[in-house]
Amino acid sequence: MDLIGKTFIVTKTGEKGECSDDNKNIELKMAKSDKKKLFQKDAIIKGFLVFEDSDLQDEYMMIKYYKDKGNEIFMYLKDNYRFEGFFHETHIENLKSILESGSLLSRKTLIDRNIKFYDSADQNVLNTPTSKKASNYCRLYFKYGTPTNYRFNEKNSDMVYIVFDWDLLYEYRDRIVISNGNNASEKTKRMYLRDFYKWYNSSIMDWDHIFSRASFLGEDYEKKRERNAEVDVKGEISTKFIKKIIFRSQESFENFKQLLKDDDSILLKFGKKMVINPNYFM
């Protein structure tokens, strides 16, 4: 692309200049002086970052904010609650489809595309207004062993956890809704990512309850509600964000491998991320 004559913005100083070189470097003649500055294209030089226009600069600064603030929250949760990633539980048949297609899809997306899937959900719950709305989203939890997970694990020994990396927040920042508890409850607050960044360290997010897996009395509804806090991503999530895949037993892992038949491509690509740990399913 010919860059000569185009206006650039230098992030660190906010100065604007005109490009006089379309080769390996960008030479900017600064608008407010006769000084010239030389930059490599699309590179950070001594803390300066050059953008072709203000829209790109705004996008960069926004992403930088999300990452800087996100890293702060990630370290807070990791240090205080041993946060591992975002947990999604599914059946091994669905896991095969997810890894083959390259994406975890929401229930609605699966239905709209006529994709068959193993349905482990409570059919009575699916008919509620909350569940119908939630079907647009891929639903993730801050930790394994939520009350919802417990119901799944009672029914089927071939359930697995897919653990997604924190970085998906940046990729899908405009499609994420975070809740501080069970979405079916009137007490639950749902928020966009920008609001979550503001409130993560407030009383709105009771991390002690969200991460606790200690036993509680059946009538202690508030603790049960908060353990179901979610990170919901609209539409789909790429498998590039998969951090770990946890099987309940060696038997379940062997059942999964049987589904693959003679196709080794999935194990070659994701095998190192697969572990067996029954402690996650107790």
What's the pLDDT tens digit per position in 230-264? Answer: 999 999 999 999 999 999 999 999 999 999 988 89
Domain boundaries, the chain: 7-52, 83-281
DSSP assignment, residue 106?
-
Nearest-angstrom CA–CA distance, 89 and 78: 21
pLDDT of residue 258: 96
Contacts of residue 66, defined as CB under 8 A and 6 or more positions apart, other chains included, come to: 169, 170, 173, 193, 197
pLDDT of residue 66: 87
What pLDDT digit, counting tens, does each position of 198-242 carry?
999 999 999 999 999 877 665 577 778 899 999 999 999 999 999
pLDDT at residue number 1: 39
Q: What string of DSSP letters covers 11-53?
A: TTT--EEEE---SSEEEEEETTSS-EEEEETT-EETTEEEESS
CA distance linking residue 16 with residue 50, whole number of Å: 10
DSSP summary character for residue 1 = -
Task: Check if the beta carbon of residue 248 is closer than 8 Å to that of residue 160.
Answer: yes
Q: Supply φ then ψ for residue 38, to 5 degrees.
A: -110, 130
The predicted structure's pLDDT at residue 217 = 60
The parts of the chain modelled with pLDDT lower than 70 are 1-57, 60, 122-131, 153-155, 216-219
Going from the C-alpha of 277 to that of each of 93, 116, 143, 160, 243, the distances in angstroms are: 19, 28, 15, 10, 15
Q: CB of 85 within 8 A of CB of 163?
A: yes
C-alpha to C-alpha distance for 155 and 144, rounded to whole angstroms: 16
What value does the mean pLDDT of the chain take?
82
Type of residue at 38: L
Provide the H-helix boundaries in 82-217: 92-101, 107-112, 123-126, 129-134, 147-155, 168-171, 193-199, 207-211
Please tell me the predicted confidence (pLDDT) of residue 3: 44
Predicted pLDDT at 190: 95
How much is the pTM?
0.81
